[in-house]
């Protein structure tokens, strides 16, 4: 297993911009996770070597932040907000609908993935779009002012 | 009703692009600032009496003045765009509609403290917003507002956008510095304060997005002009967000001191049909709730909300209808802080967990009368005993809910047959 050459080039550019090597760790992990889908032990090892920092320094960061995954996740990661503003606007009903529709259990940090590997359903805390609650994020995109009908339409239209 | 300094051009869809921003007078403030002595810029910021808009409300100009003038170390400016306090979504709006005023504000701050490297730390989930900022930053580099010799002067400024990866605690300023250094976002003991030993142990200013984005207005119009707005203790305008079952949720810029109910009823349109106001959390989920009676007395200012036992915080208002259980609301809040405690201080790691477990038990109808005393006792044991304010942020709403809604809590721990 190796890092992609174009990722290595991007890492080199990051190392030139940041005052310290380790400071590039978060951006590097974002890049590498995009390539591999998740951060396995092997990938952590590669990152540690590339940045010339201890493996433990990589592991502790990977396990601290919720957006770094230690296991494969679905093609679409549905992150449904269940914090207060979204709860007030009916988030629980929407999450139950998603659980029912997808046949998986939602959980905090990382929820279950559908058998076909298409969806992972995670409950997340406030995503900072409370004025348009209830909301959820699917991969990079925010979906706002949701209703059950809207969610169904969004899921059906995903490639 | 609204008082638009920062949001004046937000109706203009081109304002987020450099062309539109320049047409609306953008980047005139940094040019003016670069013609002033750095200390004079700090003086304007001080005179504005602008208090940091990230929630803590520390005077921004004063913060800048703490950066040592004579030092061999590099100095850094860090913009806190890790907006994560539940109920808060104003910085996201600034990034969407006005990214260049943030970049210009950062440049003004960098000139004032003589820093040549600035970072925007944006929460990881704001992927689309990161792309928007990246594009705006590139435009600013391409047109000489960032990079070598900005605006044709000899002043260099690098601006690096740095994405977080999902951790509320990184919004705490020293947690943010740790995260920027490529570590777990666990807050540092203070002192030393970031102004003397911040990022990479160098002098560092950390300001919220809104604080920086309003700086162009302050430089152009003068700090004294800004201080004329609002109240003596809460000068200027404030972006206030409102969520929950109101007719027009969203972000509005108002002059500080507006009565809370005027804001809710007139700007946000009041409650949606069929809902009645039950309680208001005025400044993000760590601020204690207000009853409808308190809401009638409240003004949107630091001092008015302090006096009522709450706080302005981030000015993210969450409106609870009277048919929504305050027990459920507090359970959600307790869950959040338990989830986000970074785990390094025992009173916070254990305390937030106990608050959540106890609230969950009460919400499930399995609470006992002594649970209420225990909640108070745990909260008291958390406050002021940890490295950062997350433990306090969890204990304040807990104490606030107990104080404000004693009957609801009593009822919740009374066995059903005895009610």
Tens of pLDDT along B298-341? 999 999 999 999 999 999 999 999 999 999 999 999 999 999 99
Across the interface, do A19 and B74 touch by the CB < 8 Å criterion? yes
Across the interface, do A65 and B166 touch by the CB < 8 Å criterion? yes
Examine the pLDDT at B208 and tell me if it is beyond 80.
yes
**Mean pLDDT value of segment B399-415:** 96
Residues of chain B in contact with residue A57, where contact means CB-CB under 8 angstroms, are: 182-183
Tell me what pLDDT residue B419 has: 67
A20 φ, ψ (degrees, to nearest 5): -130, 150
A:B CB pairs within 8 Å: 145
Q: Does B250 touch chain A (CB under 8 A)?
A: yes
Residues of chain B in contact with residue A60, where contact means CB-CB under 8 angstroms, are: 183-184
Q: Does B332 touch chain A (CB under 8 A)?
A: yes
Band of pLDDT at residue B115, cut at 50, 70 and 90 = very high
B183 φ, ψ (degrees, to nearest 5): -120, 180
Q: Does B83 touch chain A (CB under 8 A)?
A: yes
Tell me what pLDDT residue B415 has: 83
Band of pLDDT at residue B418, cut at 50, 70 and 90 = confident
Q: Does B286 touch chain A (CB under 8 A)?
A: no
Residues of chain A in contact with residue B329, where contact means CB-CB under 8 angstroms, are: 84, 87
B231 φ, ψ (degrees, to nearest 5): -115, 165
Full set of structural domains in chain B with CATH: 13-227 (3.40.50.11540), 237-321 (3.10.20.600), 326-418 (1.20.1440.230)
The minimal CB distance from A27 to the residues B85, B163, B340 is found for B163
Distance from CA of residue B244 to its chain's centroid? 19
Both tokens assigned to B406: 């004693």
Band of pLDDT at residue B50, cut at 50, 70 and 90 = very high
Across the interface, do B184 and A64 touch by the CB < 8 Å criterion? yes
Across the interface, do A84 and B332 touch by the CB < 8 Å criterion? yes
Query: pTM score, two decimals?
Result: 0.97
Question: Which residues numbered 169-228 in B keep a CB inside 8 Å of some CB on A?
Answer: 179-185, 200
Residue of B nearest to A53 (CA): B182
> In percent, how much of chain B has pLDDT > 90?
99
Band of pLDDT at residue B214, cut at 50, 70 and 90 = very high
State which fold the A5-64 domain adopts: Arc Repressor Mutant, subunit A (1.10.10)
Q: Yes or no: say if B392 and B382 are a contact pair by the CB < 8 Å rule.
A: yes
**Mean pLDDT value of segment A88-96:** 98
Sign of torsion over alpha carbons B326, B331, B336, B340: positive
**Mean pLDDT value of segment B31-52:** 98
Q: Does B240 touch chain A (CB under 8 A)?
A: no
Q: HEC string of chain B?
A: CCCCCCCCCCCCHHHHCHHHHHHCCCCHHHHHHHCCCHHHHHHHHHHHCCECCCCCCCEHHHHHHCCCCCCCCCCEEEEEECCCCCCCCHHHHHHHHCHHHHHHHHHHHHHHHCCCEEEEEECCCCHHHHHHHHHHHHHHHHCCCCECCHHHCCCCEEEEEEECCCCHHHHCHHHHHHHHCCCCCCCCCCCCCCCCCCHHHCCEEEEEHHHHHCHHHHHHHCHHHHHHCECCCCECEEEEEEECCECCCEEEEEECCCEHHHHHHHHCCCECCCCCEEEEECCCCCCCCECHHHHHHCECCHHHHHHCCCCCCCCEEEEEECCCCHHHHHHHHHHHHHHHCCCCCHHHHHHHHHHHHHHHHHHCCCCCHHHHHHHHHHHHHHCCCCCCCHHHHHHHHHHHHHHHCHHHHHHHCCCHHHC
Supply the CATH classification number for the domain A76-157.
3.40.30.10
Interface test with A, best of B90, B128, B165, B186 (most A CBs within 10 A): B165
Q: How far B224 CA lies from chain A's nearest CA (Å)?
A: 33
The minimal CB distance from A27 to the residues B123, B162, B243 is found for B162
**Mean pLDDT value of segment A126-133:** 98
Residues of chain B in contact with residue A65, where contact means CB-CB under 8 angstroms, are: 124, 164-167, 185
Residues of chain A in contact with residue B201, where contact means CB-CB under 8 angstroms, are: none
Tell me what pLDDT residue B408 has: 97
Across the interface, do A20 and B181 touch by the CB < 8 Å criterion? yes
Both tokens assigned to B372: 């209420």
**Mean pLDDT value of segment A23-47:** 98
- Where are the domain boundaries for CATH 1.10.10 in chain A? 5-64
The minimal CB distance from B165 to the residues A30, A137, A141 is found for A30
- Where are the domain boundaries for CATH 3.40.30.10 in chain A? 76-157
Q: HEC string of chain A?
A: CCCCHHHHHHHHHHHHHCCCCHHHHHHHHHHHHHHHCCCCHHHHHHHHHHHCCCHHHHHHHHHHCCCCCCCCCCCEEEEEECCHHHHHCCHHHHHHHHHHHHCCCCEECCCCECCCCCEEEEEECCCCCHHHCCCEEECCEEECCCCHHHHHHHHHHCC
Residue of B nearest to A143 (CA): B128
Sign of torsion over alpha carbons B126, B81, B253, B97: negative
Q: How far B416 CA lies from chain A's nearest CA (Å)?
A: 25
Across the interface, do A84 and B324 touch by the CB < 8 Å criterion? no
The minimal CB distance from A89 to the residues B128, B184, B245 is found for B245
**Mean pLDDT value of segment B170-180:** 98
> In percent, how much of chain B has pLDDT > 70?
100
**Mean pLDDT value of segment B243-270:** 98
């Amino acid at each position: 297993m190796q890092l992609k050459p174009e990722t290595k080039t991007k890492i080199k550019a990051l190392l030139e911009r940041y005052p310290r090597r380790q400071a590039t760790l978060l951006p590097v992990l974002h890049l590498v996770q995009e390539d591999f889908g998740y951060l396995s032990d092997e990938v952590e090892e590669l990152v540690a070597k590339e940045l010339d920092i201890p493996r433990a320094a990589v592991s502790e960061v990977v396990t601290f932040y919720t957006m770094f995954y230690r296991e494969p996740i679905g093609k679409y990661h549905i992150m449904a907000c269940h914090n207060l503003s979204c709860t007030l606007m009916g988030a629980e009903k929407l999450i139950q609908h998603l659980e029912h529709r997808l046949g998986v259990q939602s959980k905090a940090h990382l929820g279950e993935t559908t058998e076909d590997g298409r969806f992972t359903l995670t409950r997340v805390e406030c995503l900072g779009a409370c004025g348009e609650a209830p909301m959820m994020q699917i991969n990079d995109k925010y979906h706002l002012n949701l209703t059950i009908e809207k969610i169904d339409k969004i899921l059906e239209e995903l490639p | 009703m609204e008082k638009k300094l920062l949001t004046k051009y937000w109706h203009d869809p081109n304002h987020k692009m450099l062309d539109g921003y320049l047409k609306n007078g953008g980047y005139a403030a940094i040019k003016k600032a670069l013609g002033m002595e750095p200390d004079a810029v700090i003086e304007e910021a001080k005179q504005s009496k602008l208090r940091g808009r990230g929630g803590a409300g520390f005077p921004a100009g004063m913060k800048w003045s703490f950066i040592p003038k004579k030092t061999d170390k590099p100095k850094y400016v860090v913009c806190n765009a890790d907006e994560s306090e539940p109920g808060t979504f104003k910085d996201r709006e600034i990034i969407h509609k006005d990214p260049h005023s943030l970049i210009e504000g950062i440049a003004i701050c960098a000139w004032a403290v003589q820093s040549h490297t600035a970072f925007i730390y944006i929460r990881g989930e704001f992927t689309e917003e990161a792309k928007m900022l990246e594009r705006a930053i590139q435009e600013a580099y391409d047109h000489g507002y960032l990079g070598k010799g900005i605006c044709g002067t000899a002043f260099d400024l690098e601006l690096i956008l740095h994405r977080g990866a999902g951790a509320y605690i990184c919004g705490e300023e020293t947690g943010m510095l740790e995260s920027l250094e490529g570590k777990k976002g666990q807050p540092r003991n203070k002192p030393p304060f970031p102004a003397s030993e911040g990022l990479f142990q160098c002098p560092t200013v950390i300001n919220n997005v809104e604080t920086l984005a309003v700086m162009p207005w302050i430089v152009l119009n003068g700090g004294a002009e800004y201080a004329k707005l609002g109240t003596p203790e809460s000068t200027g305008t404030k972006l206030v967000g409102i969520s929950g079952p109101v007719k027009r949720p969203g972000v509005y810029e108002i002059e500080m001191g507006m009565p809370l109910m005027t804001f809710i009823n007139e700007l946000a349109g009041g409650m949606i049909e069929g809902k009645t106001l039950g309680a208001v959390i005025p400044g993000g989920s760590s601020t204690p709730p207000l009853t409808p009676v308190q809401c009638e007395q409240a003004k949107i200012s630091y001092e008015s909300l302090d006096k009522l036992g709450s706080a302005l915080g981030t000015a993210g208002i969450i409106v609870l209808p009277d048919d929504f259980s305050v027990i459920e609301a507090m359970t959600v809040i307790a869950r959040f802080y338990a989830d986000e405690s970074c785990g390094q201080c025992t009173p916070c790691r254990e305390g937030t967990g106990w608050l959540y477990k106890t609230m969950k038990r009460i919400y499930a109808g399995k609470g006992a009368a002594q649970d209420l005393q225990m909640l108070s006792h745990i909260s008291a044991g958390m406050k002021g005993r940890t490295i950062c304010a997350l433990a306090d942020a969890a204990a304040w709403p807990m104490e606030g809910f107990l104080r404000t809604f004693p009957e609801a809590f009593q009822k919740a721990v009374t066995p059903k047959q005895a009610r």
